[in-house]
Structure 1
Amino acid sequence: MAKFNVLRRPKTHEGGVGVKRDVKRELFLLAVANMVGEHTFYETAGERDNRFAQLVRSATVADPEWTARLLGWLRGSANMRSASIVGAAEFAHARTEPGMTRQVVNSVLQRADEPGEFLSYWLAMYGRVIPKPVKRGIGDAVCRLYDERALLKWDSEARGVRMGDVLNLTHPKPAEGWQGALFTHALDRRYGNVAEIPTGLPMVNAREELLAWPVERRRELFAADATPTLKRAGMTWESVAGWLQGPLTAEVWAALIPTMGYMALLRNLRNFDRAGVSDEVAATVARKLADPEQVARSRQLPMRFLSAFRAAPSLRWAWALEQALNASLATVPSLPGRTLVLVDRSGSMFYSTVSAKSDLTRADAAALFGTAIALRAAKADLVQFGTTASPVKLRAGESVLPVVRDRFDSLGGTDTIGALKQFYRRHDRVVIVTDEQHSGSTLPTSVVPGGVPVYTWNLAGYEFGHTEGRFTFGGLSDAAFGMVPLLEAGEREAWPF
């Protein structure tokens, strides 16, 4: 009897039969679900981050063009910030041939604090020797991103790598004269050498004028239209809260709202209600939240709207948030025929939130995506599963958010095979939204006839999966849902970039 020369199938973390993915597929699924530095049910943050870094390095050596496209897409369409920054740093470290590094680094730096984030990671991992292509890529991003508003918002003593440090380490050439003055001032701020603010920086000067107001007089600003003054000084709602050294009243919010960004509005709905902003002011917020163009520009992950819906005390935001969520799910297709949608509600899906800044779990994300797919399909059976499985009833024209809030349960283990055996009834396709960590003795997809498409939407990116010869997507946005109609039409391109 053979002791060593036997076939051993990999196992999921739950002990079920699994599938080992190739480097590209494993990297893709981990990248679109990896918030960096955060634990999941089956992996510590260190294990997960080390696996991600190694996969990026391996993919870079094997296919640098593919890896470069992945990282640019990851920061852009998928809106995964930390993973793309770490990925670009590991790409640069693994890249031994000339070319591409500068462009990759520049492509992932999309917000003015990110050059400092990139350098913080690089210095911690690889020290102060920074290759020229990395410096140039960061420099390109600095010239594109650094302006007065960015300096006032992102440069603070709380950051380990400040804007002045970025300038010192990368030596970018200013794009215009005002940017030269900005760079000089950023360096002066970093080293405590500010004697006076250059006249070419009107916003910074306006901020200094406001900071000079006596604290006891600062609320007088809101007796009239304060919006232009706040805008000239680049005052965010956070900076106004610190400046006033007290609560933000309805009058203060009314002055701030016209210049607030989309994300700032979304996260402050509860604060608007607590302060008692008027229905007229609330209506202007709701219109902006529901505007599809604003939603697209904001690049919010769909879960943000579920989080805001749960947090907002009043119902005056509900319809705007539903419209915004629908706009953020623009690539979820309307599937023809009959579709079975399985939503994983096992314990591992509830273990951790999708990020440290979120109160939503992967179970929430699975319910949201599964419900959206089912409501848009021509005819769908929506099922939640864990140790047991049960249907989730839907009515035509229902809103996604209340369904997700009210009709899903926590269901223990991960019997994917049992759910498929119970509910698959000659459907045209199956969609499973899960972390793939099932407990069965065979692959779940073996239950479904070979000619029926099975699409797994993976929300965790673990090493071993539950599908073989079928389709696996992943992530916390809708960025690849549009692949489903293409695959069914015979297009075999596996990547959404």
Structure 2
Amino acid sequence: MSKFNTAAARSAGRGPVVSERVPSGQTHEGGPGYARDDKSELFLLAVSNMVGEQTFYEAADARDERFRALVHQIAVADPEWLLGMIGWLRGTANMRSAALVAALEGARARVAAGAHGHSRQMVAAALQRADEPGEALAYWTSRYGRAIPKPVKRGVADALRRLYTERALLKYDTGTRGWRFADVIELVHPAPAADRAAWQGDLFAHALDRRHGRDAEIPASLGMVRARAELAAVPAERRRRVLAEAPERLAQAGMTWEALAGWLQGPMDAAAWEAAIPSMGYMALLRNLRNFDEAGVSDAVAERVALRLADPAEVARSRQLPMRFLAAHRATASLRWAGALERALGHCLGSVPALPGRTLILVDQSYSMSARLSRRSYLTCSAAAQVFGAALALRAEHADLVQYDAVSEPVAAGRGDAVLRVVERFWGPRGGTSTADAVRRHYRRHDRVVIVTDEQAHHGQDPAHQVPAEVPVYTWNLAGYRHGHGPSGEGNRHVFGGLGDAAFAMVPLIEAGRRAGWPWES
């Protein structure tokens, strides 16, 4: 009788996140804890780490120190891998703080080790918005003083030439920042980019003049900056009249909605919002839907906003995390945004695969999942798990969606349902984490099992041990703690992670018996 060559035999794929096969530690709740190799641990931590943020089980300082230590090791051992992760982390995953810290700490480790190359590229790859060069130097000097290595300065200068524009100066170079544009320029001494030489040198000079209080004339090449200065000179009592008669001047002057509110020196009424909306960015629109409703923005303007929100190209360019759409949905009382937000969320979750066959999806709703994603957000790991679980269920051919803590129960999710509606059916974070019990109660010869969790299961065995070895079990880790609840990397047991959907694309590769590489390698 054959032991291996059976009708159920399939080629097993391999995943990038690799752990030990036998537990050497414990989860924070005392369950068996499987340690991962350094790259796997860093990846899972990076894609869930907002830097400086408390989590349910791990203090911010301890978490950040673990992150830095892993970066230091890998920066010296495999800088190409770290460079790839930083670029992907800041780009596709849109994790600003984690990418910035990884880049600077990686550069520091390489300089300390006397290693050449990669440091400058790491720093440049992490800086993708015009306020980030100043953010990088603030981080470095607050930790290590003003002695900044040349690779770090050169990486900042490379980014600065890409990012410093008139619009960026007007938006980000404010007195609320410790590092102004001029401070960065004076430290790294950038030459203007070759394709921007006609105006960028003037921009650098103007940034220095305004920082040091010099009353120099704004260069003619800086038309937007001059337009802003002209608006600033309009007497306060005439500004709403100017807004009504010539709203196009706002865009010409690079006026953000925040700047407009200050310029008007009064409330943002419907007329003000309607003038600002055409030049607002995607994230600004998403964050202000409730303000539009409260100000009484017209249905015609609201319809144009909704079309932008639901536009797939706009969603792709914005690189929003899926939870942003849930936050916007929960913040608005009006139903006029619901359809657009659902469509936008669908575009944002484009990498979630349509899984064939029967899929069991278990969504952790234990109390530890109540940890907020950041101190500025009221959304939690629990909410992120709900979004991913619902999206997987609605795209799968046949899915059983289950929520669990110390007990478990099915969540209704059928054809034609909306992700945002399904999310409303979860009970939210409460009780303990009985993952193994949830698997035992609900596994019924499914083709695969997906567990969306922080992996901090209670006492017991690996939760997947009850599932036959030939059936894939995928754990989606949302917290990045050191020990996981089961093995990973081979044998049909795999862990992914993060607050975005990109790594879900690994599932079809693994099930086709191929090796799924890191997201930036595909």
User: When the two structures are superposed, what TM-score results if normalisation uses the length of structure 1?
Assistant: 0.97
Q: Which amino acid aligns with 1:290?
A: A
8 Å Cα contact 2:23-2:34 kept in structure 1: no
Deviation digits for residues 30-56 of structure 1, max 9, x if unmatched?
000000111000011111111111111
Is the Cα–Cα contact under 8 Å of residues 353 and 361 in structure 1 kept in the other structure?
yes
Q: Distance in 2 between matches of 1:27 and 1:170?
A: 30
Question: Which residue is 2:438 aligned to?
Answer: 419
Q: C-alpha separation between the residues in 1 aligned to 2:265 and 2:119?
A: 45
Equivalent pair of 1:416/1:440 in contact (CA under 8 Å):
no
1:442 is displaced (CA, Å) by 1.3
Deviation at 1:199, TM superposition (A): 2.1
Shift of 1:62: 1.7
Percent identical among aligned pairs is 61
Task: Choose which of 338, 342, 348 in structure 1 pairs with 2:368.
Answer: 348
What residue in structure 2 maps to residue 241 of structure 1?
Answer: 261
Q: Which stretches in structure 2 are left out of the alignment for 5+ residues?
A: 1-21
2:183 is matched by which residue type in structure 1?
A: D
Q: Which residue, 390, 403, 415 being the options, matches 2:422?
A: 403
Aligned AA (2:276): L
| Deviation sequence 1:370-405 (CA, Å, 0-9, x none) | 000011000000000101111101221100002112
| Alpha-carbon contact 2:23-2:32 (below 8 Å) kept | no
**1:372 pairs with 2:391:** yes
Decide whether the 8 Å contact of 2:366 with 2:429 is kept in 1.
yes
Task: Give the match for residue 345 of structure 2.
Answer: 325
Runs of 4+ in 1 over 4 A off after TM superposition: none
Partner of 1:482: 505
Task: Name which of structure 1's ranges 403-412 and 321-330 shifts more when overlaid on structure 2.
Answer: 403-412
CA distance in 2, matches of 1:150, 1:210: 17
Q: Find the counterpart in structure 2 of residue 259 from structure 1.
A: 279
For the pair 1:167 / 2:185, whether they are aligned, the reply is yes
Aligned position for 2:46: 31
Equivalent residue, structure 2, for 1:334: 354
State how 1:130-141 maps to structure 2 within 5 Å: 130-141=148-159
Secondary structure of the residue aligned to 1:116 is: helix
Q: Is the 8 A contact 1:185 1:194 kept in 2?
A: no
Q: Report the equivalent of 2:122.
A: 104
| Residue 72 (structure 1) aligned with residue 87 (structure 2) | yes
Question: Which residue number in structure 2 is paired with residue 493 of structure 1?
Answer: 516
Conservation of the 8 A alpha-carbon contact between 1:27 and 1:52: yes
Q: Using the alignment, how far apart are the partners of 1:409 and 1:114 within structure 2?
A: 35
Q: CA deviation at 1:411?
A: 3.6
- Name 1:272's counterpart in structure 2: 292
Deviation at 1:408, TM superposition (A): 3.1
- Give the Å deviation of 1:224: 2.5
TM-score between both structures, scaled by the size of structure 2: 0.92
Q: SS where residue 406 of structure 1 aligns? A: coil
Q: Contact between 1:417 and 1:440, CA under 8 Å: does it hold in 2?
A: no
Task: Answer yes or no: is the 8 Å Cα contact 2:76–2:115 preserved in 1.
Answer: no
| Match in the other structure for 1:436 | 455
Checking the alignment, whether the CA contact within 8 Å between 1:21 and 1:464 is kept in structure 2 is: yes
1:43 and 2:58 aligned? yes
Q: Do the aligned partners of 2:368 and 2:429 also contact (CA within 8 Å) in 1?
A: no
Q: C-alpha displacement at 1:8, in angstroms?
A: 7.6
Counterpart CA distance in 1 for 2:428 and 2:514 is: 37
Q: Is the 1:354–1:362 Cα contact (8 Å) retained in structure 2?
A: yes
Q: CA 1:48–1:181 in 2, change beyond 3 Å: closer, same or farther?
A: same
SS at match of 2:449: strand
State the alpha-carbon separation in 1 of the partners of residues 474 and 384 from structure 2.
Answer: 16
Deviations 1:250-279 (A, max 9, x none): 111111111111011111100000011111
Does 2:167 align with 1:149? yes
CA offsets per residue over residues 271-301 of structure 1, 9 Å max, x none?
0000111110000000000000000000000
> Structure 1 495/391 Cα, relative in aligned 2: closer, same or farther at 3 Å?
same
Question: Contact 1:36 / 1:45 at 8 angstroms: preserved in 2?
Answer: yes
Is the contact between residue 310 and residue 341 of structure 2 (CA under 8 Å) also seen in structure 1? yes
Q: Which moved more, 1:264-273 or 1:92-101?
A: 92-101
Distance 1:31 1:444 in 2: 25
Q: Does 1:85 align with 2:91?
A: no
SS in 2 for 1:300: coil
Maintained 8 Å contact 2:411/2:425: no
Which of 363-372 and 128-137 deviates more? Answer: 128-137
1:328, 1:319 → 2: CA distance? 14
Structure 1 gap segments, 5+ residues each: 1-6
